[in-house]
Amino acid sequence: MTKAKLLIGFLCLFSGYVAAAPATAENDVAQAVDHLTQAMLHKDIPALEKLTAPTLSYGHSSGKVQDKKAFIADIETGKSAFKTLEMQKQTITLSGDTALVRNHFSAQALNGTEVVPTEIENLQIWQKQHGKWLLVGRQAFRI
């Protein structure tokens, strides 16, 4: 009887561990998205470098597609600047070391001194590389 209780206890413990693993990964991805959002808002170039993959493909709702260097340069120079920026209505779907993140990009973008309300949808693709979640792709689109 003791062996059966021990086995049942072990199985319950193991199943709890397995069930918790995706939630932890999902939380890690959500945190990476939040860090990227804050880095874009506050022009934190070192953070943008750390959160994006070398092969980044960053698509805008206008159809313009940038690589990592061009994306970060636009943030650094203020060509892409924000008074406010937040991701809303976010969903995260995990598949191994890849995460698909859909969210609503809500911002008050800055065009010089003019504030431009921006409401678009995003698909972000994150990949776990060397133990860190990195943005490998993003495509925005108008609703």
Nearest of 94, 71, 99, 84 to residue 41 by alpha carbon: 84
3: in domain: no
Nearest of 56, 136, 60, 47 to residue 98 by alpha carbon: 136
29-71 pLDDT, tens digit per residue, is 999 999 999 999 999 999 999 999 999 999 999 999 999 999 9
18: Cα within 13 Å, side-chain hemisphere = 6
6: in domain: no
**What CATH number is attached to the domain comprising 33?**
3.10.450.50
Contact yes or no for 124/103 (Cβ under 8 A): yes
* Tokens found for residue 66: 């940038």
Q: Which residues contact 112 (CB under 8 A, 6 or more apart)?
A: none
Domain span at 131:
22-142
4: in domain: no
53: in domain: yes
80: in domain: yes
pTM of the predicted structure, to 2 decimals? 0.84
